[in-house]
Structure formats: C-alpha cells, structure tokens
Amino acid sequence: MGLRTGGTMRRANRTGRQGRYGYGQGWRQAGIRFFRAALWALCLTLAAGWVQAGPAAGSEQCPSGPAASFTPSSPGTAGTFLLFSDVHLNPFAAPALVPALVAAPVEGWRDILAKGPAGFSPYGQDTNNALFQSFLDAMVAASPKPDFILFPGDLLCHHFWALYPKLSGDASQAGLEAFIQKTVEYFFSEVSRRFPGVPVYVALGNNDSTEGDYRIQPASPYLAATAQTLARMLPTEASRSDFLSTYSHYGCYAVTLPEAGGVRLVVVNDIFWSVKYPDAGLGEPVAAFLERELTASRARGEKVWLMTHIPLGDDTFKSAHKSSGQGTPRFEPLLVESQNNTFARLVMEFAPTITAAFAGHVHRDDFRSFSDAAGKPVGGMRLAPSISPVTGNNPGFQVYAYDREGPAILDETTYSLNLAAPAGGWRQEYVYSATYGRGLRGPADWQATYRDLGTCPPRRLAYGTNYDLGSAHVDDVTETTFPTYWRAMAAPTKSVWEVWSAPVELVR
C-alpha cells in the first residue's frame, strides 16, 4: 500500500489561507472532514499492521539497519532529552481575561488563565492555556527526568503585536513589551514547575520579537527582556556566562552541555537569514558567529550540536503543492540563497565536528539528510513537529534517546494529541527505530532511511502519517507530492535541488 492519492482536494479547500507559516486558513466542510477522517482511519489501521508487525522488515524492499544505530555503547552512557517546538502560546485565547493578565504580576497568571475555557485549541488556532498545560503534563508522563530540553523556537502566538492593543486597550510599545516579557516568564515558569532543575535550551522563532513577525532587530528589546529568564534555565555559571556574552546582540549563543557528555550546543538565530526578513545584510554577523564557533570547537576537539529555528533548504509545503501535477517542482527557499549556501557550506565543511542538528518552523515531523559532492552521507537535521495546531497538524513532542559517548542521537519517540478526538489523550505516535528499521546514530543511517522511503511502501506511508502526526484535517504527503518531499530531504541548496535524481526507483 502506498501513500494517499490525489492532492487537488487539499489545495481546493485551502482558499483564504494566509500562508503556510502565517495565521488563518480556509478549512473543509464538516461532511468532507468526517468522510476523510473515517477513510484515513481505515488506512491507518491497515498501515499500523504493516509498520508495527513489519512483514517487510529485513526484506530487500524494507531492509533493517544494525541495532547499533539505536543502541547506546553501554548502559551507563544512555541518556534522554525532550524536544518540542512552535508552541505559539496564545494568552489572548480568552479575550475577557486579558485585562486581568495585564494588571497582574506573572505569578498570578496561572490562576487567571485557569479560568479560561477547558477545551483545547482547535485546528487553525494557536495554543491556548489548556493545550499548553496538557502538553507539559504529557511530557512529564513520557519523560519525567530528562537530561535537558531543546526548544527550537516560536514561543509567541501569531499576531501578538496586533492582539495586545486590540484586547488590552493599551497601544503603547512599553505595554506591549511588558506583556511579552510576562508571557515569556509565564511560559518558562510552567516548564520549570514540571521539570525543576532540568536545563532548557532555546532558539528564537520568527514570532519571538517585540518588533513583529520576521522583524527582530539586533539588540532587540526582546533580547534584553528575555536574557535573564533564559539564563536561569541553564545549568552552570559557565553556561550562563557564555549565553549572556552573545545572546543580547543577535539571539545567538554557544554553551557546553555537561549533562550530555560535554557536547557544544551552538544556537543560531537564522531569522536574520529568512527570505521574509527585510534586511538580508543583517544576517552576515550571524553567519560569522556560526563559523567562528565551529572553528573554535574543531580546534578544541569538541563535538557540536546545532539548533536553529528555520531549517536549511526548501519550503517543501510550498514547492510540493504549488507544482503538484505540473512537472518538475521549483525550489522554494526558506532562507536567502546566499545565507542558505553559507549555512550548507559550513555544515559540509564541519561535518566531522557536527554530530546532530535540530530545527522547527515547519510545524511538521521531518528530516534532512546531507551528502557531499561524491554522494557520501555527512550529516542530517531533524525537523520538529509543533505544539500549535494552527496549520492543521496534531500537536506533538519528542523524547530522544542518545549516547553520551560521542555524543550521538540514537532514537526518538513521538507523542501526539489527536484533536479530532482529544478525550483519548496524548498517545505514542511512533518510535523511530521500530517504524523505519534503523536508528539515528550516524549520517549513513539517515541516508539509508531516506533511500528506504523510496523502496518500502509501508515506511513511506508511515512517513506521510507521521509528517502531520496522524491529522485527518490536512493531506500534505500524497503519492503525488511525495517525490517533492523526497527531493527536499536531500537537497539543502538550490543547486543540489536542480540536479537531484531519485536514489532508487520509487516502488509503488
């Protein structure tokens, strides 16, 4: 069985949508939704038997990788961490409560927000407090004592800068900045309440600013307002010092993770590289920061993990659905081409130093596999699903298993909440190694998974399901659009995109 066929219905029902990473969209009529949900549920039932029972496991079409790809080198080196992204917390979801939030200190926010509706945000809206609290509780249940937490950004909801004056009656910039600061403090106080003493490392998303979406400036008031809050989430005086020395300039920083075998985490604010950012020249200091940190880590013999908000390469949703059924898809960049090429060059040049990379932004569960000019795998990047269901996906977060020896990521388990039937609660969506037949230890494992998606229809179907976490509300990856998603996995730049060819013949 392959992916869902078609794709025209999805596009036809998206009229009125204001952009893949924006706010607001046209949705299906109820009858169509229920029909598709029932049909997709049947498909999932059949697929689950294939993926979990694995009748094709170890076959020529669906080969299994070595157990070492998802197994720590010894029991004593096994660790876990949590990853969540694109929460887009919306403190305006209950408009009647906004004046009380404005007047109250942040310590009073939890009690005020608890008076809001108990129901979760529906598809098409950002995260309300009920969904926020639920996802935090679900993370505790899934991994009560992780070594650390990664958050690749987008804490604030869409249109924060318009909603605040409208619902508070305060049009002042000072009032907006104070409310943003309280929102950030509330967010991390709730995370810390669930995970006391657990370090949290954060990248900035395009909505994380006082200036507007994709409008953060160097030395932004947002950076000044949030620096101490984020520094308190770090585990040592040394990491806090490293963080504060650079964060307030461009939102970038590099810290050593003693809890993760001493790996160096380099966090890059690539909003300055976005095609939607108004001044591409401001991205040059960010690229210089990244190259400087990678050079220093290589000289010290350190391994590096990278975290950004926006991933390298193509805006696959746009390229897949713009060109569906219209021949070869066109590369639709997320980052300015020169900055994207610099980023890709550094990833290739420092591949022996970089052992993992993470991003968010796309609100979907995806990955990138990087190879050199000779086709040798050199690295990869995991793209995290979102908590916000604003683009029709189910909310989800991930628990990673990693080996402190190396260090290397090994496996991940994704948890999701089916908003079409939320009474069922958070569920385990899938385990990476069980679904794809191998783990995440090295670039060769990533490349093998990428190839297997072409030859193994059950794994390809699982990829399509996992992409939006089983949402019956959207229809992103189909038999028609999959080749474009496949291309994007292995094409970090426009030049690679244009010469890409399928690594194997696609088995239907």
C-alpha 337/C-alpha 480 separation (Å) is 27
Per the listing, tokens 């990248």 go with 203
pLDDT for res 325: 58
Residue count (the chain) = 508
Residue 147 pLDDT class (50, 70, 90 cuts)? very high
* Domains located in the chain, CATH noted: 67-499 (3.60.21.10)
Whole-model pTM: value is 0.91
Which pLDDT band, with edges at 50, 70 and 90, does 130 fall under?
Answer: very high
What pLDDT, on the 0 to 100 scale, is given for residue 324? 61
Provide the pLDDT confidence category of residue 1 given band limits of 50, 70 and 90.
very low
Q: What is the pLDDT of residues 357-381, one digit of tens each?
A: 999 999 999 999 999 999 999 999 9
Residue 453 has pLDDT above 50, yes or no: yes
- The C-alpha atoms of residue 433 and residue 79 are separated, in whole angstroms, by 16
Residue 465 has pLDDT above 90, yes or no: yes
Strand, coil or helix: 262: coil
Give residue 105's pLDDT: 98
Give me the mean pLDDT over the 56-61 stretch: 68
**Angle at the Cα of 257 (from 252 to 260), degrees rounded to 5?**
135
From CA 186, how far away is CA 430, in angstroms rounded? 31
Is 288's pLDDT higher than 60?
yes
Q: Mean pLDDT, the chain, as a whole number?
A: 91
CA dist 217 and 211 (Å) reads: 8
Q: Find the farthest-apart pair of alpha carbons in the chain and give their distance in angstroms, rounded.
A: 64
Of the pLDDT bands very low, low, confident and very high (cuts 50, 70, 90), residue 93 is: very high
Q: Is the pLDDT of residue 30 over 60?
A: no
Reported as a single tens digit per residue, the pLDDT across 295-313 is 999 999 999 999 999 999 9
Q: What is the phi/psi pair of residue 148, to 5°?
A: -165, 175
Residue 59: what pLDDT? Answer: 81
How far apart, in whole angstroms, are the C-alpha atoms of residue 173 and residue 178? 9
Q: How high is the pLDDT of residue 60?
A: 83
Question: Around 393, how many Cα atoms within 13 Å sit in the side-chain half-sphere?
Answer: 32
Shortest CA distance to 2 belongs to which of 461, 453, 436? Answer: 461
- Provide mean pLDDT across the span 459-472: 97
Residue ranges with strand state E in 170-295: 200-202, 253-257, 263-267
pLDDT digits (tens, 9 = 90+) for 198-246: 999 999 999 999 999 999 999 999 999 999 999 999 999 999 999 999 9
Contacts of 172 (CB under 8 A, 6+ apart): none
pLDDT single digits (tens) 320-370: 987 665 667 899 999 999 999 999 999 999 999 999 999 999 999 999 999
Give the span between the Cα atoms of 275 and 334, in whole angstroms.
6
pLDDT greater than 70 at residue 58: no
Mean pLDDT of the region 35-58? 43
